[in-house]
Every structure is written in structure tokens, then in C-alpha cells.
A and B are shown apart, each in its own frame.
Chain A
């Protein structure tokens, strides 16, 4: 309950502070609020709180996911874009919308009631439709409109799934028993709606366009916060209904399609943000592999944190290189000579995303694959592992361009505002939690997906 109140207060504060304070102060207020939320999380860590007659349940899993979301939001706030300052924005709404989205994500992660779940989903999504347009140019509007239209279709699918779930079980609470055609249709529709938000193939079509068209800090936010919240909801739904029968085959097909399609299409992209967008699709597939295990919550929480830190770091570096027209691969060339800090962050992020030890990304992959293997899903694990090996190719290609490429113009990158702090912090965490993964795993080990 504390976290819910803090996050809501931060969102309100950011909204109203914007009326009389300059955007810079609103940013500081929002950042301080997110740090307060971290403190609140730490103080109540492992406690279980219920409110509103059981509609809101803050258990260990919801805290784990909220931790990931708050960390992602802090990274997104710290990552400044050079063109933000030149164009005189983001305006204060930017920070308020970020805070509201995190609040919505927390609501989504902390309930077993489908009605509350979709309200949380909309509190998360509606600010993001607006954030996607924050670049205020043709590309930004295109990204925003695509995200909005496809997001609304996904919400409609999810909602129809809820209606069918209610019809076949007589309840909106997850865990109700049901069977028959209507129930199976309900599960498949809920799965489709959430697969859209998590960007699982074949519901990922919006991802590359939206990630590329949004301003880079917003992309960072989408890749970390939205993924975490949507996976929390997906895990709650799928574990409660049980991955058996048609749901199992449908989901296994979705996951395997995702890891291969994401990685194979990433290879042929010529734009760094678009490449990382396809990489985010592939990573969604790896996270989903954990759902085939007996208790996916700890592995999933760890992977979400690992992914948020690594991809957050990568996008924070790209935000510095982005001058408003995206980051074609040539812009990365010779990064080492132009800015050692950015090059170091980029190297750490990509090696972690590729899953090389001793970085945090390796342990994330290890945990989800072991989790699925516990239930004997060796085929899924082997295929996902194979896809992960293929993926190393394009991560190393991105890395090689940055380290060995010849720069078009060799001037040093001018870093803005708080970005160096965010990059250094994220890189340190990726390395530290990679060397000592037991610390982070300890935070998540008590989590379970089912709300009893």
C-alpha cells in the first residue's frame, strides 16, 4: 500500500508542480519521488499487503516488478537527449506522464482481479501513447498513432477475453476454475492482448516502428517499464489458468516464433534503435520461457531487472548520440575515441544483452532456461538457447561498429545534463550484479506468481 500511495503522490506532485515550476525542477521532483518509492519498497520488502477488499495485493512478485519499473523510470529520467534541450522540451507533462505510467504498471502487477488489471493497463498505456508523440514531428506522430491504434485493438481483445472469462467462470478473479470452449477462447484472447504489450511475435509489429519513432528516452522507458508490467500481468494470468492443453501449444508456438523472428530480423536492420527494438522482441521471448517452469516468479523478476538495466543502458547511450533523426549505425562509428564513457556503457550493455558472463544478462538467461528445464521442457530450452547464440552475431556487429568503425566526423560527443550519471550507474550495476548475482536473486527468491 505504501508503494501505491508514494507512486500516486509522485504522479500528482509532478502534474501540479508543472503549473508553477520550470520543467527542470519537475524532473528533480519526479526523480526524488522515484527514489522515495525505492526507499518505500525497501522498507516493505517481502511484506504482503492487501487493500480494497483484496482487489490490490502487494506481494513479493509485485514488489519485484515494481522495483524493475522504478529503476527503469529512474534511468529514463536520467537519460537526457541533446535535442531535448535545443528544442526547449520536454515540457513538464513528460515527467508527469512517466510517473503515471509507473503507477499504472504497479497497479497491473498487484492484482488478481481482471477488472483492476485492465484499469492498470490503461493507466500505463494512455500516458505512453502521448509520450510516444513527444518528439512532435512526423515520425513521432506516426509512432504514436500506430502504437495507439494497435494498443487499442489489443485492449479490445483483452477486454473481450475478460468478458468470456466472466461468462465461463462467473468471476473476474484469476484462479477461478472453468473449462470448455468459451473458457479456452477467453484464455487465448487474454494471452493475445497481453502478448501485444509484451511484444511477443506475432503481436510485435508495432515495436520496431514505435521504438524508432519515439524519442530515445521514451523508447528506454517502453523497453523497461512496459515490458516488466506486461509480463507481470501475463504471468499472473497464465499461471492462474495453467499452461495446459491448447493454451500450452499456443504459447509455446508464440515463444519459439518470438525468439527466432526477433533475432533473425534484428540482423538485417541498419538503425541501432530498430535493431534494439527487435532485440527487445527476442528478449521478451526469453522471459516468456520462464513461464514453462514450476515457479517462474524469481527467474522472471531477475531477468526483467537484468534486461531493464542492460537495455536501459544501451538506450541511454543512444539517447546521447541521437540528434532527433535516430541513430543509423554509422553514427556509432569510432565511439571509443569520441567518448570513452559512452563506449564503455555501450560495450557493457551489448555484452550483457548477448548473455556473456560475468554480466547480469548471462545469469538472467541461465535462470529462465533452468526454470523451464525443471518442468522438462528441454525442446523449448534448446531452441531458445540456439536463438540466443544466433543473436550474439548482431550484438557483436553493433559492438564492432562502435569500437573499430571509422567515424565520419571524429568530434567528441557532448553529453548533456544527468546522462553520464545514469550511464555510469547502470553500467556499474550490470557489472556488479553480474559478478555477484546472488544479491539480486536473493531479492526475488521469495516471489510467487499466484496470489493466494
Chain B
């Protein structure tokens, strides 16, 4: 089990690195999805090792939540792209201070 947990922690770290290092909204968003799925992997492996199925139910819920986030998030990214012709987060510098 600990290998799965190690993998999930690694995925989470890779996702976090992607969020911090990537400069395109879509790629940042994909990194966030990676973080969410690493949590799913942790949930499922904990559920497997403890025999408590609640964790697996939770993973299903998380998939639904992630889908809802994708729907709104991609909408926002498309809107940003239409108004700026770019989804680079470095261009988003309207505000200062």
C-alpha cells in the first residue's frame, strides 16, 4: 500500500510544481487535475488497505466535483482567450499594488 501512497504524494508534488512553474492557464489547470487525482489515488489505496469502502465512494464524488470545476473553468479560460488572444497568465497583469 505504501507504494501507492508514495506514488500519490509524488503525483501531488508534480501537480503542485506544474501549477507553480507553468505559464499557460490550460497547463496550470491540467496540473490541478493531477493534484485532484493524486488525492483520489490516496483515497482508494487507504480504502483498500483498511477495507472501509467509504474512501472509494469519496473518490467517485471527487470525480464529479472535478468535472463540475472543468465545466466552469474551461468556460472562464475560453472567455479569457477571446478577450486577449492568449491564455498566458503572465499577460494577466491588470492589477497592481
Contact = CB atoms under 8 A, between A and B. Distances in A.
B35 A153 contact: yes
Interface stretch (A126-134, A314-322, A392-400): A126-134
Contacts of B79: 133, 141, 144
Interface string B34-57: 011011101100110010101101
Interface in A127-153: 129-130, 133, 137-139, 141-142, 144-146, 148-149, 152-153
Interface of A: 115, 118-119, 122, 126, 129-130, 133, 137-139, 141-142, 144-146, 148-149, 152-153, 155-157, 159-160, 162-164, 166-167, 170-172, 208-209, 212-213, 268-271, 274
A115 B61 contact: yes
Nearest to A144: B76
Given A146-B92, A208-B95, A274-B97, A160 B72 contact: no
A273 to B, nearest CB: 10
- Interface centre among A157, A160, A172, by most B CB within 10 Å? A160
A163 B46 contact: yes
Contacts of A270: 97
Interface residues of B, number: 44
Contact of B76 (A119, A148, A209, A268): A148
B32 A153 contact: yes
Nearest to A132: B76
Given A122-B68, A153-B32, A138 B42 contact: no
A156 B25 contact: no
Contacts of B69: 122, 126, 152, 155
B32 A208 contact: no
Contacts of A129: 72-73, 76
A268 B54 contact: no
B39 A149 contact: no
Interface of B: 5, 8, 12, 15-16, 19, 25, 28-29, 32, 35-36, 38-40, 42-43, 46-47, 50, 52, 54-55, 57-58, 61-62, 65, 68-69, 72-73, 75-77, 79-80, 83-84, 89, 92, 94-95, 97
Given A268-B97, A270-B97, 7 more contacts: A118-B62, A126-B69, A129-B73, A133-B79, A152-B69, A152-B73, A156-B39
A126 B72 contact: yes
B80 A152 contact: no
A301 B8 CA distance: 38
Contacts of B80: 141-142, 144-145
A119 B61 contact: yes
A271 B97 contact: yes
Contacts of B58: 115, 162, 166, 172
A156 B35 contact: yes
Given A141-B79, A159-B39, A148 B46 contact: no
Contacts of B55: 163, 166
B54 A149 contact: no
16 contacts: A115-B54, A119-B61, A119-B65, A122-B68, A126-B69, A126-B72, A145-B25, A145-B76, A153-B16, A153-B35, A155-B65, A156-B35, A163-B8, A166-B43, A170-B50, A208-B95
Contact of A160 (B19, B39, B54, B95): B39
B25 A159 contact: no
Contacts of B72: 126, 129-130, 148
B29 A149 contact: yes
B35 A138 contact: no
Given A145-B92, A159-B36, A152 B29 contact: yes
Nearest to B91: A142
Contacts of A208: 95, 97
Given A118-B65, A153-B19, A164-B42, A213 B95 contact: yes
A73 B35 CA distance: 32
Contacts of A271: 97
